[in-house]
Amino acid sequence: MGVLPSGPFSTLIRLPFDSTNANARFDHSLGRSHALRGVYEFLKQERSNVRDLDLPERLSTGTVEQHSLRLSDTGSVGERVVNEIRFHTEWVTTGTSSASSAPTTIVQGAFNAGGAGLDNARRSRESELIDHVSFGRGRHSFKVGGQVDSGWYTYTDHSNLAGTFTFPGLVSYQAGRPQQFAQRSGSGVAQFNQFLFGAYAQDDIRLRKNLSLSVGVRWESQTHVTGHGNPAPRVGFAWAPFRSGRTTFRGGAGIFYQWLGADLFAQTMLLDGTRQSDLVLANPGYPDPFSGGPPPAALPGSITTLAPQTNQPYVMRGSIGLQQQVTKYFMLMTDVRLQRGVHLLDGRSFLRPDGGRTLEIESAAVSSNRGWMVMVSPAPSGGFGKRFFWYVNYLCSQVLNETDNPQQPPANSFDRHGDWGPSSNDVRHRFSAMLSGSPGRGFQLGTLFRATSASPYNITAGADLNRDTILNDRPAGIGRNNARGSGLIDLGSRVSWSHGVGTRKGPAEPTRSLVRIGGDSPNIPEFGSGAKPDAPQPILRYQFYAQAFNLLNHGNLTNYVGVITSPLFGNATAALPGRRLELGVKLSF
C-alpha cells in the first residue's frame, strides 16, 4: 500500500519461494561410555521480495545455499568425569540481485520506484569447537570448558551503483526537486577472517539440603576489537526455606559479553574510501544529479570506519524470583529482571577536512531493560500428567536504549544521549498461553494464543534539518521512537494423527517437531508419537495434520509511517497474514 501522484495504490505481487533441504544423521557407540553423533544438513532457497511501499519494479531475489556438519562425542573419563566435545562447521553462500538496474526513487512515506539497488554476495566458512568437562567432589559440582570459533569471509557488494534519489514528499517529487542523491562507487570486494575465544569455570555448591549456590566466571575475546581480557563473573542461588519444598527462591546476576558481527565489520572494510565510498549530493538535479555541477570524481565520498578503541559490548543482568507450588496441579513462577547494556555499538557521523563524511562505529552506547514476569504451569506431580503440557505467561517490560542500529547514527552525532528512548522492540505487555500434548490413539494437538501491546516507531521530519546528509532528523521536541502503532492478537492451532508401520530394532528416540503458528509467532512444541523411550521404533511413520494460522483472522497492522511529510503519516501500510488453513501429510522413516 502507498500513495502515487495519481492517488493511493495497492497491488498483489507474486513472490515465488523455492526451498530444497536434506539431512542425514548417524549415531555410533564408542565402547560402553562414549556415543558419537553426526548430522549433515543441506539447504538451498530462492526467495523473491519487495519491501513496504515498493512498486512491482522494485522486485529483488535472494538466494541461500548452506552445507552444515555437526559432530559430538559425550562420555565418561574415569568414574567421576564426564566430557562433551562438539564440532560444527558450515559453508554458506548468499546473494541478492535486483530485477531492474534503474536508479532508485524514494518518496518518503509515499512510494518507492526504480530498481531495488541490490547486488551483493557473501561466502563464508564458519567453524566452532566446544569442549565441556564436568566432575563432582563432595558438595561441589565443577564445570569447565572452552570455545574457539573461526570464520573466513568474502563479501562482494555492487549495490546502489545507479544511485538513489530521495524526495521529502509528493509535492517535491511532482516538482522534480529531490533533496538528496546518493550513489556508491568503487570495487566492493573484501576478504578477512575472524576468531572468537571463550573459556569458563563454574562451581555448583550444595551448601545445605535446601540451599545451593552457583559461582563462575567466563572469559571471552575476539579479533578486530581492543580489550582482549574480558572476565565475566556470574553468581546464582536457589533456596527452599520450608520443609514442604513447595516454595523456592531463585536469583542470579552476571556479565555477558556480545560479539562484533562479521557483517558489520565487512561494511567498515568495503566502505573504507579505497574499495568503495558513498557519494551524497544535497539538492541535486533530476533526473541528472550532476547537471550544473562537478563530475563524481571531483566530489569526496562518505565512508564507514571502526573506531580505534572499540571494545566488546556487554550487558549486566540480574534477576530474583519465586517458584511456588500453589496446589497439587498448579505451579506459579514470577521474577523481576534488570539489565543494563554497556559499550554497545553505535555510529557517529562527522565531517572530514576534505568535505566528505565519515560514519565511525564505536562502542559507546548504553541500554536499560526492566521487566516483571509471572507464569502458571502444571506442577511436576500434578496437572494432566505426562501427555500434556500447558502454560499461561505474562511479561511487563520496558526497553530503553540510544540506538537500534549502529549503522544509523543519532539525529545529532554530538549529542548521543538525545536519542535515548524506547527501543524498537519495546513492547510493554506480552501475554501468551499454550497447550500441547498427546490425548492418545495417535492424536497430537497444539494451540498457542498471543497478545501484545503496540511497538514504537520513529517520527521524522522528512528533511535534512541539520545538513549532515543523514535523513533521520526529528521535529523539535519529539524524541526517538515516540509514537506507537497497534497491538497484536494471534491464535494458531494444529491437530494431527500419526501411525507407524513395522518395527525397527532398538529403542525409540523421543521426537519433538516444531510448528510455527502465525506470521512471526514463536515455535510451539508438538508432542511426537507419544511413544515411551524404551518402545520399539516403527520402520515408517505417517502423519495427517491440519493447522490454522491466525485462526481469529485478526488484522495485525504493521509498518506505520512516521514521516510527517507523508500523506500516510500515522497509518499502517502492511499487515501480517490473515487466516490460513493447511492440510498435509508427513512421512518419516
Non-local (6+) Cβ contacts of 7 within 8 A are none
Residue with cell 514504537: 456
| In the predicted structure, residue 495 carries a pLDDT above the cut 50 | yes
pLDDT tens-digit profile of 280-328? 998 999 999 988 666 666 678 899 999 998 999 999 999 999 999 998 8
Amino acid, res. 108: Q
Across residues 164-180, what is the average pLDDT? 94
Residue 267, classed as helix, strand or coil, is helix
Q: Where are the beta strands (DSSP E) in 288-423?
A: 303-306, 314-325, 330-351, 357-378, 388-401, 421-422
What confidence score (pLDDT) does residue 540 get? 82
Across residues 162-173, what is the average pLDDT? 94
| In the predicted structure, residue 519 carries a pLDDT above the cut 70 | no
| Nine cell digits for residue 36 | 558419537
Reported confidence tier of residue 533, pLDDT bands at 50, 70, 90: very low
What confidence score (pLDDT) does residue 520 get? 41
| In the predicted structure, residue 24 carries a pLDDT above the cut 70 | yes
Q: Cβ distance 236 to 98 under 8 Å?
A: no
Which of the two residues, 255 and 79, has the higher pLDDT score? 255
Beta bridge partner(s), residue 391: 434
What confidence score (pLDDT) does residue 3 get? 92
Across residues 109-126, what is the average pLDDT? 96
> Which H helix or E strand runs over 513?
strand 512-516
Across residues 348-353, what is the average pLDDT? 90
What confidence score (pLDDT) does residue 297 get? 65
What confidence score (pLDDT) does residue 187 get? 85
CA 263/CA 161 separation, integer angstroms: 20
Strand pairing class (230-239; 303-306)? unpaired
Highest mean pLDDT: which range of 51-55, 74-78, 293-297, 368-372: 368-372
CA distances from 487 to 109, 427, 490, 558 (A): 21, 9, 10, 9
Q: pTM to 2 decimals?
A: 0.88
CA 56/CA 214 separation, integer angstroms: 57
Q: What does the mean pLDDT of the chain come to? A: 89
| In the predicted structure, residue 405 carries a pLDDT above the cut 60 | yes
CA distances from 497 to 449, 525, 546 (A): 22, 16, 9
Residue 416, classed as helix, strand or coil, is helix
The phi-psi region of residue 442 (left if phi > 0; otherwise alpha if psi is between -120 and 50; otherwise beta) is: left
| In the predicted structure, residue 65 carries a pLDDT above the cut 90 | yes
pLDDT tens-digit profile of 382-401? 555 567 889 999 999 999 99
Q: Cβ distance 531 to 538 under 8 Å?
A: no
Chain centroid, CA 382 distance in Å: 36
Reported confidence tier of residue 257, pLDDT bands at 50, 70, 90: very high
> Nearest CA to 488 among 513, 521, 514, 446?
521
What confidence score (pLDDT) does residue 153 get? 98
CA 455/CA 450 separation, integer angstroms: 15
pLDDT tens-digit profile of 429-440? 999 999 998 888
What confidence score (pLDDT) does residue 524 get? 43
Q: Kindly state the DSSP code that residue 54 receives in the 8-state scheme.
A: B
| In the predicted structure, residue 523 carries a pLDDT above the cut 60 | no
pLDDT tens-digit profile of 4-15? 999 988 888 888
Residue 410, classed as helix, strand or coil, is coil
pLDDT tens-digit profile of 302-311? 999 999 989 9
| In the predicted structure, residue 517 carries a pLDDT above the cut 60 | no
